[in-house]
Structure 1
Amino acid sequence: MSFETESNKSALPKEKRGRLTNLVSGLGKLPPQALDLEEAVLGALMLEKDALSAVIDILKPEVFYKDAHQKIFESIQILFTASSPVDILTVTAQLRQQGNLEMIGGAFYITELTNRVTSAANIEYHARIISQKFIQRELIRISTDIINQSYEDTSDVFELLDYAEKNLFDIAQNNLRRDSRKMDDIVKESLKMLESLRGKEDTLTGVPSGFTALDRVTNGWQKSDLIIIAARPAMGKTAFVLTCARNAAVQFNKPV
């Protein structure tokens, strides 16, 4: 169960990367990155047919630091979505079709990536490191934006708080671990839940909020719910959420 408030959208990826590069260059540091792991993961994806299923929920094109690697993974994603085979030849053809082959270094670079791979055994671990480096870069970018806007006298402090909250929430939400599950496990869990509901005295299927009219509409907060509390600053969003949490814990003995 998560709560989010409405606020401004993030900048475009290239603008983000430009600001981040300028910042860390000024500090005499490179942005967090793992180019060797990016190369190893991309090479493994083109060699091992089962490797992509292990990282498809972890990686996105934007998590790669190098532009060429973003384009290569984007092509791999397109092939995977179309249920087409993913290998050196198909990825090269897809990049050529999109007009990106020369930009990434040509077919020679694709071959070089596969030559650097010895095994795909640790590809999921490597993918998570790549994702973590991306999160670090995003945190640096957001922190820099917040610092710069905080020095502006014209900035609305409440809008800035909403901006910080929204962007930090997006980082956490977009990088949650999503593991694949077997269908028989899902069916067993669903049957168990139905059995527990049959023996309940009340009609609520989720966690009560303590507000009867609201619970009548929602049947309680559900595990899969994303609750968006939208209102102007100082209208009581935080107080309402805290009251819901207190009611669930104190009145209904639910862990919060």
Structure 2
Amino acid sequence: MAKSAKSKTDRASGATVLPIDLGKMPPQNIELEEVVLGAIMLEKDAIVSVIDILSPASFYVEAHQKIYKAIVDLFTTDRPIDILTVTEELKRQGTLDEVGGAYYVAQLTSRVATSANIEIHARLIQQKYIQRELIRISSEIQTKAYDESVDVNDLLDFSEAQLFEIVQGNIKKESVPINLLISEAIKQIEEAGKREDHLSGVPSGFTKLDNMTLGWQNSDLIIVAARPSMGKTAFVLSMARNMAVEYKRSVAIFSLEMSSMQLVNRLISIESEIPSTAI
């Protein structure tokens, strides 16, 4: 009877080495991969439900990666997607024999009767891919962590970058029907019309600026750029003060240059009209 592996101590370094169970298979669901590919070739609009969820790398089987890549290429060039077009695209790319030939492509459609749950299936496939990526990254981090020549700060940067890449790849921007957007836009216009200042966003307290911007909007990223000592901090603090005091809005300030006390002193200077050098 095989005994379960236990951690052991490396005699040379004294470090505890955690064994890797070589009997484990990477997370995967080949049946779902076949179902999703088959559904895409059966239903002309099925690809729309998964194009933002899956990439070729999401599939575990290499043949499925190549088939999905051919499907994506057809979709991005606005060509129809079915058994024949996918087969022809694979032939054009020179990968038809590598995926198992036209017979295998046709066989995929027999795995599914409808594409009703294709988005759920696609998300399950993507989950397996993320698990595989986490295992891969963990292995790389472990290898680098045992390497004494690797700087620990570089290792932290590497680990953070790898995990961030997975997170970014898993973010899906949901599509929104235009009728909902129009309704929301009309609602905002009506609300702005009821306000005395007719602004749709948060007022900065600078009238001419607000007239040009209609106030700072929720989705805005505003960059204030100028040479040193031109009043950037004073301008931003003035806006923050106006939003908080005049318009009762919550404001948070993060500064990489000035301490909290320095920022407070600047605010006191602005509010009291006493030069900051005199405080």
Same fold, TM-score > 0.5, yes or no: yes
Q: Kindly report the root-mean-square deviation, in angstroms, between the aligned alpha carbons of the 2 structures.
A: 3.2
Match of 1:157? Answer: 152
Q: Which amino acid aligns with 2:68?
A: F
Match of 2:232? Answer: 213
Q: Which amino acid aligns with 1:176?
A: I
Match of 1:140? Answer: 135
**8 Å Cα contact 1:92-1:110 kept in structure 2:** yes
Deviation at 1:199, TM superposition (A): 6.1
Q: Deviations over 1:81-136 (max 9, x none)?
A: 11111000000000000000000000000111011112211100000000000000
2:34 pairs, out of 34, 39, 44, with 39
Q: Which amino acid aligns with 1:71?
A: K
The total of aligned residue pairs comes to: 201
Runs (4+) off by over 6 Å: none
Q: Larger radius of gyration, structure 1 or 2?
A: 2
Match of 1:72? Answer: 67
SS at match of 1:155: coil
**8 Å Cα contact 1:197-1:205 kept in structure 2:** no
Say which is worse superposed, 197-206 or 27-36, in terms of deviation: 197-206
What residue ranges of structure 1 are gaps of 5+ in the alignment?
1-23, 221-237, 248-256
Name the CA distance, whole Å, in 2 between partners of 1:109 and 1:71. 13
Q: Deviations over 1:155-208 (max 9, x none)?
A: 011111011111111111111132211123234445555738446331543589
Which one scores higher on RCO, CA 8 angstroms, separation ≥ 6?
1
Name the CA distance, whole Å, in 2 between partners of 1:132 and 1:27. 22
What residue ranges of structure 2 are gaps of 5+ in the alignment?
1-18, 193-197, 205-214, 225-230, 241-253, 264-279
Name the CA distance, whole Å, in 1 between partners of 2:60 and 2:188. 43
Name the CA distance, whole Å, in 1 between partners of 2:125 and 2:55. 10
Match of 1:88? Answer: 83
2:166 pairs, out of 162, 171, 175, with 171
Distance 1:116 1:25, change over 3 A: farther
Distance 1:199 1:26, change over 3 A: closer
Deviation at 1:25, TM superposition (A): 8.2
Match of 1:200? Answer: 202
Name the CA distance, whole Å, in 1 between partners of 2:41 and 2:103. 14
Name the CA distance, whole Å, in 2 between partners of 1:38 and 1:205. 42
**8 Å Cα contact 1:35-1:66 kept in structure 2:** yes
Which TM-score applies when normalising by structure 2?
A: 0.64
